[in-house]
Homo-oligomer: A and B are copies of this chain.
Amino acid sequence: MADQITKRSENYSQWYNDLIVKADLAEQSQVRGCMVIKPYGYAIWEKMQGILDSMFKETGVQNAYFPLFIPKSFFSREAEHVAGFAKECAVVTHHRLMNDPDGKGVVVDPSAKLEEELIVRPTSETIIWSTYKNWIKSWRDLPILCNQWCNVVRWEMRTRLFLRTSEFLWQEGHTAHSTAEEAQEETSRMVNVYAKFARETMALPVIVGHKSPNERFAGAIDTQTIEAMMQDGKALQAGTSHFLGQNFAKSFDVQFADKDGKLQYVWATSWGVSTRLMGALIMAHGDDNGLVLPPALAPIQVVMVPIYRKSEERDAVLGEMNLLKENLSKMGVSVKIDDRDTLRPGFKFAEWELKGVPVRLAMGPRDLQSGTVEVHRRDTLTKETMSLDGIEGHIVQLLSDIQANIYRKALAFREQNVEKCDNWEDFKEKITQGKFLLCHWDGTAETEQKIKDETKATIRCIPIDSYVINEEGVDIYSGKPSKQRVVFAIAY
């Protein structure tokens, strides 16, 4: 199994694709740029959804559902937004097929042309704010805190499974507030929800910060982001939260009467994470044997592989395993017993390593006699023989240790690969070696663009909660004055 995966050192990008396909996470569909998320991959995404959804709801957010289609004219209402978003998209122009008059099959019925074309949503600000117009009359109607889990489409020329696909799944939160301050607080609250989720659930260390103007969401006043480092040293933007000011309220004429009866435009935020998180999870923790799942997201946390020759041995081992499974299930641990009779244990070991199951237990007739079990950790690839006595508590603790260790390992890797840099020649060299560089920047879009043109590096963020270095200095490229360092990296 594992030898079917390209090694990371040979070709990181191929390793990523191999892993996704071999671990049954997803595959290319027969529709250009669209993926099929397979059951094992979808089970991980469902876990992400469940945990995030609870976190959103704890902050007062409610789920809702808005239409898939957006009338073309809506995209003309918010000028900046359309420039950033409405270009590469799926356009519905007709609403009927008919039998091909020339023979078999079906053709588009030319008489069923829509009066106005519909765009498959690339993001839903426009349709949602046109709806909020009817929901909001007075300050009493605010805040509105809605989220939707849905599919969106952005026509992509070059696609990669999970990272960039024409259709992807995501959640998009859209909130409406009576003051700028409240909307800004919401923007920060949600980026912090994402950071907490990334760190605690995905075991993914992230840098929280503001985007530079060039990298902001189309139509936003401020975009906050969580940025993660992959094992090739590239950055992956894992979630964003936008303060939209009154831009959409003005475009869709959404006003509320304040407590003095005065009409004011509503303040907005939007925030989202997508199936891209699956890509981050794979690339941050996977190794040459396959996926490494943090226990908090593993659909199967413990797999048990019976070792036997004779059918009496099989029965005895499976009997013991079923007891253990029952006990662990009661403690909230998800367990699978791999009792397939046609495969050798070694094959099963490799398969579950490929699929990233955090803990593997193997048990044979000799273990039964001695009251022991072999416990294997996916994260360290180490194993030890342990007593069955009290094993349940040990496994619960082990899962918690693995979760912490995966985070620690990813954090240590990042720490090794974040450097201050003050020399342009060094910058050009180090940025290609997969470093995040903390550099002074003069704050202009012009300099940022020139650096990108020369090196492909972009400002990933102006850090908020770690790597915050407020100090005087000079821009690494232009030599102009700067007041703080920002994070440069080459991004996915």
Interfacial residues, chain A to chain B (CB-CB below 8 A) = 27, 29-31, 34-39, 42-43, 45-46, 62-73, 75-76, 82, 86-98, 104-108, 117-120, 127, 130-131, 134, 140, 146, 150-151, 153, 155, 167, 169, 342
- Complex formed: what's the CA distance from A127 to B105 in Å? 16
Q: List 24 A-B contacts (CB under 8 A).
A: A29-B127, A30-B127, A30-B130, A31-B118, A35-B67, A37-B64, A38-B64, A39-B146, A42-B63, A42-B64, A45-B65, A46-B63, A65-B169, A68-B167, A72-B97, A87-B97, A89-B95, A90-B94, A91-B108, A95-B155, A96-B155, A97-B119, A108-B117, A120-B120
Contacts of A131 in B (CB 8 A): 29-30, 36
Chain B residue nearest in CB terms to A70: B31
- Chain B residue numbers with a CB within 8 Å of A92 are 90-93, 120
Q: How far is the CA of A27 from the CA of B131 in the complex (A)?
A: 10
Our pick among B31, B34, B35, B69 for the contact of A34 (Cβ within 8 Å) is: B69
The residues of B that contact A105 with a CB separation of less than 8 Å are 73, 75-76
**A69 to B36, Cβ gap below 8 A?**
no
Task: Report how far A13 CA is from B131 CA in the complex, Å.
Answer: 24
CA distance A82 to B130 in the complex (A): 36
A66 lies within 8 A of B36 (CB): yes
- Looking at the assembled complex, report how far the CB atom of A122 sits from the nearest CB atom of chain B, in whole angstroms: 10
Give the distance in Å from the alpha carbon of A86 to the alpha carbon of B95 in the complex.
10
Nearest B residue to A65 via CB reads: B37
Q: Cβ of A93: which chain B residues have Cβ within 8 Å of it? A: 91-94, 108
The answer to whether B95 and A76 touch across the interface, beta carbons within 8 angstroms, is no
Nearest-CB distance from A94 to chain B (Å)? Answer: 4
A106 lies within 8 A of B30 (CB): no
> What chain B residues lie within 8 Å of A98 (beta carbons)?
87
Given contacts A30-B127, A76-B105, A87-B98, 12 further A-B contacts (CB under 8 A): A29-B127, A34-B68, A39-B64, A68-B167, A72-B106, A72-B107, A76-B106, A86-B97, A90-B94, A120-B120, A140-B342, A151-B151
**Top-3 shortest CB links A-B:** A76-B105, A39-B62, A34-B67
Report the nearest B residue to A134, measured CB to CB.
B27
- Report the bound CA distance from A404 to B158 in whole Å: 56
Task: Write the chain B residue with the least CB distance to A92.
Answer: B90
Tell me the bound Cα distance from A39 to B66 in angstroms.
11
Q: How far is the CA of A89 from the CA of B68 in the complex (A)?
A: 14
Please tell me if the beta carbons of A104 and B89 are within 8 angstroms of each other in the complex: no
A31 CB contact (under 8 Å) in B30, B67, B87, B94 = B67
| Bound-complex Cα distance A98 to B130 (A) | 22
A390 to chain B, nearest CB (A): 30
Q: Contacts A86-B97, A97-B75 known; A31 to B104 CB distance under 8 Å?
A: no
Q: Which of B45, B63, B66, B155 contacts A29 (CB 8 A)?
A: B66
B69 touches A90 (CB 8 A): yes
A127 and B42 contact, CB distance less than 8 A:
no
Residues from chain B with a CB closer than 8 A to the CB of A67 are 29, 31, 34-36, 167
Distance in Å from the Cβ of A444 to the closest Cβ of chain B? Answer: 27
- Contact between B106 and A75 (Cβ–Cβ < 8 Å)? yes
**Residues of chain B lying within 8 A (CB to CB) of residue A134:** 27
Q: Which residue on B lies nearest to A90, using beta carbons?
A: B92
Q: Is the CB of B97 within 8 A of A30?
A: no
| CB pair A94 B91 closer than 8 Å | yes
Set of chain B residues within 8 Å of A34, measured between Cβ atoms? 67-69
